[in-house]
Amino acid sequence: MARQIAGDQARVTALIPPGADPHTYIPTDDQAQTVAEAQFIFYNGNGLETPTQQFIEAHKQQPMLLVNFTHNVPSPSTQQPLDKPIYAEQVGDEPHLFLDPGLAGVYPATIADSLVIKDGQNEVYYNARFDDYRQKILGLQDNMRNTMSVIPPQNKGLLVLYHNSLVHFANRFGLTIAGTLVDDGVDGITRLLAEKHPPAVFTETGYDNSALEQAAQTAGIQVCHLETDSIADEATSYIQMMERDAAELARCLGLPPT
């Protein structure tokens, strides 16, 4: 998103590489200079990437802007007052807000506002790129909804994952998380698969999914894969990642074409 908004006016570097688990990844010593030289550092917040956040705090230099996205996203779990929003950071919302395209639009808006604060002479440039990207996010949500329209009602409550990453995604698209390996453990997932026999379980990029795969194999259930906390190497953008996830959910939970 930062690359989409900044264009050729900034050099954008990811501290957490593709395929890594943001919950546990610790930047390497040679990334300290990258942090020290940064004018902006954007991070999700609400505990998603705590080790990296601690690394940033230890190595950041002034002047720079440290921007927490959850400080800017209105909480989806709280009834919002009319006068002033209550933000996700304030109530400790589950951090995977960006997996809901309806909430994800706040991220590039925050990036654009931050860039304008530091580089006001390019305000028109940043805002134009944000307006273009916002339209793509709006189109993404519609496309994903259309892609997943093949999922029948009886399968919408059978989402089984490695961990509880799709809370906001599920709320947006009318799905329900039936269970996760992290929350239910191997025994709990084994019982769930035996009782509900979902069409598939979903592993996630960046994690050791072997226990979930073994439970699915024992139950005779197919294993599918999603990108949630981390984008895969072969995906080139946030939008492509989300489209791939929608297609995988439709393939694995949807009815075959007639």
- 142 and 16 part of one domain: yes
pLDDT digits (tens, 9 = 90+) for 197-248: 999 999 999 899 999 999 999 999 999 999 999 887 666 799 999 999 999 9
Out of 96, 124, 146, a domain closes at 146
Q: Which domain holds residue 213?
A: 151-253
Nearest to 40 by CA among 4, 13, 73: 13
Out of 146, 171, 206, a domain closes at 146
DSSP string, 7-46: GGGS----SSPTT--TTT----GGGHHHHHH-SEEEE--T
Out of 124, 146, 168, a domain closes at 146
Give the pLDDT score at 234. 64
Asked whether residue 114 is domain-assigned, the answer is yes
pTM for this structure?
0.93
Cβ contact 166:180 at 8 Å: no
- 7 and 132 part of one domain: yes
Contacts of 157 (CB under 8 A, 6+ apart): 175, 176, 178
pLDDT digits (tens, 9 = 90+) for 87-140: 999 999 999 999 999 999 999 999 999 999 999 999 999 999 999 999 999 999
Give the pLDDT score at 230. 86
- 175 and 110 part of one domain: no
- 74 and 190 part of one domain: no
Give the pLDDT score at 144. 98
pLDDT digits (tens, 9 = 90+) for 108-122: 999 999 999 999 999
Q: Indicate the angle between helix axes 181-196 and 210-219, nearest 10 degrees.
A: 10
Give the pLDDT score at 172. 97
Asked whether residue 78 is domain-assigned, the answer is yes
Burial of 208 (0-12, 13-18, 19+ CB in 10 A): exposed
Tell me the C-alpha distance between 160 and 196, whole Å: 10
Alpha carbons within 13 angstroms on the beta-carbon side of residue 201 total: 29
Contacts of 62 (CB under 8 A, 6+ apart): none
Residue 256 has pLDDT above 70, yes or no: no
- 210 and 135 part of one domain: no
The domain that holds 180 is classified in CATH as 3.40.50.1980
Cβ contact 180:96 at 8 Å: no
Six-digit token string for 154: 């009886």
- 41 and 15 part of one domain: yes
- 78 and 194 part of one domain: no
- 197 and 236 part of one domain: yes
* Beta-sheet strand order (sheet of 159-161): 177-180, 159-161, 200-204, 222-226
Asked whether residue 238 is domain-assigned, the answer is yes
pLDDT digits (tens, 9 = 90+) for 7-23: 999 999 999 998 899 99
Asked whether residue 258 is domain-assigned, the answer is no
Mean pLDDT value across residues 41-47: 96
